[in-house]
């Protein structure tokens, strides 16, 4: 059993569950409404924007806010997908079966991680179809759109890694979901303190998911923002592997 076999099994179980389809439907409904509302506002102000020099276009005023809203909604949704990854295995006492199989702890963690990312990648594709529908009637900034897709993908990779780690800590999926939501919200608002301009303020600013995410949504793709999301995801994956390895040794 390899990483991709575990990932395929996890992805298949997610698509067979009503929870995944409910999440896909609710997210599409909410984002579809917000997308159409933002598009209506853009059409109202388009004549005024046309006379301005270097005025923002539909990509900046409609597409980027769509991905901004998607980040907030998926911050609430992702813990519901990750809460059962390890917690359910521990609660149903099937974790021992995984440990006895000819598969390493790293393969278990990465397989479950990639399987969940497969579902979220499908969701990103569905979200991207909305701005792509505008290409038939207007010109899009393809560079900014690509940056938005990259930003949401990296954000969801970090969300999933954090949620997976919380799932390794408890046999109760609800506790894992609440803990995951709390951790994600903390990293989202961690720079909302009054320490702007100080050394601690700069550290908190770098730790803020929102600050890095907003920079990417503007099309400002920098190595600092990319490294932040990649290192954050890798760090929580390593913590998940270590935690599950400790459970295996105790058994």
Question: What tens digit of pLDDT does each residue of 175-222 get?
Answer: 999 999 999 999 998 877 655 556 666 777 788 899 999 999 998 889
Lowest mean pLDDT among 28-37, 50-59, 220-229, 231-240: 50-59
pLDDT level of residue 3 (50, 70, 90 thresholds): confident
Hey, where are the domains in the chain?
A: 3-250
Average pLDDT, the chain: 87
What does residue 2 show for φ and ψ, rounded to 5 degrees?
-105, 180
Q: What is the pLDDT of residue 99?
A: 72
pLDDT level of residue 49 (50, 70, 90 thresholds): low
Distance, in Å, from the CA atom of 134 to the CA atom of 138, rounded to the nearest integer, reads 6
Distance, in Å, from the CA atom of 163 to the CA atom of 236, rounded to the nearest integer, reads 9
Q: For 98-152, what is each residue's pLDDT tens digit?
A: 777 778 888 989 999 999 999 999 999 999 999 999 888 778 889 999 999 999 9
Lowest mean pLDDT among 8-12, 100-104, 224-228: 100-104
Q: What is the pLDDT of residue 118?
A: 94
Q: What is the pLDDT of residue 237?
A: 96
pLDDT at 251 over 70: no
Buried b / exposed e along 194-206 (16+ C-beta atoms within 10 A)? eeeeeeeeeebbe
Q: For 51-68, what is each residue's pLDDT tens digit?
A: 666 667 788 888 999 999
Q: What is the pLDDT of residue 59?
A: 85
Q: What is the pLDDT of residue 51?
A: 60
Give this prediction's pTM: 0.91
Q: What is the pLDDT of residue 58?
A: 81
């Amino acid at each position: 059993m390899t990483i991709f076999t575990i990932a395929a099994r996890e992805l298949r179980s997610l698509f067979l569950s009503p929870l995944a389809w409910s999440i896909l439907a609710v997210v599409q409904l909410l984002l579809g409404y917000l997308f159409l509302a933002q598009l209506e506002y853009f059409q109202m102000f388009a004549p005024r924007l046309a006379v301005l020099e270097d005025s923002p276009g539909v990509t900046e005023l409609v597409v980027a806010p769509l991905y901004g809203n998607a980040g907030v909604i998926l911050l609430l949704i992702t813990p519901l997908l990750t809460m059962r990854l390890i917690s359910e295995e521990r609660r149903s006492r099937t974790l021992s079966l995984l440990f006895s199989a000819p598969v390493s702890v790293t393969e278990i963690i990465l397989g479950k991680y990639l399987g969940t990312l497969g579902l979220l990648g499908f969701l990103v594709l569905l979200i991207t179809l909305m701005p792509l529908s505008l290409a038939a009637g207007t010109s899009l900034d393809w560079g900014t759109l690509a940056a938005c897709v990259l930003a949401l993908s990296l954000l969801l990779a970090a969300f999933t890694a954090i949620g997976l780690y919380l799932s390794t800590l408890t046999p109760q999926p609800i506790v894992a979901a609440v803990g995951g939501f709390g951790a994600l919200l903390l990293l989202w608002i961690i720079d909302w303190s009054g320490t702007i301009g100080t050394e601690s303020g700069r550290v908190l600013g770098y730790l803020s998911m929102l600050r890095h995410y907003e920079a990417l949504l503007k099309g400002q793709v920098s190595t600092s923002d990319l490294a932040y999301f990649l290192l954050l995801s890798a760090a929580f994956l390593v913590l998940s592997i270590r935690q599950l390895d400790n459970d295996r040794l105790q058994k």
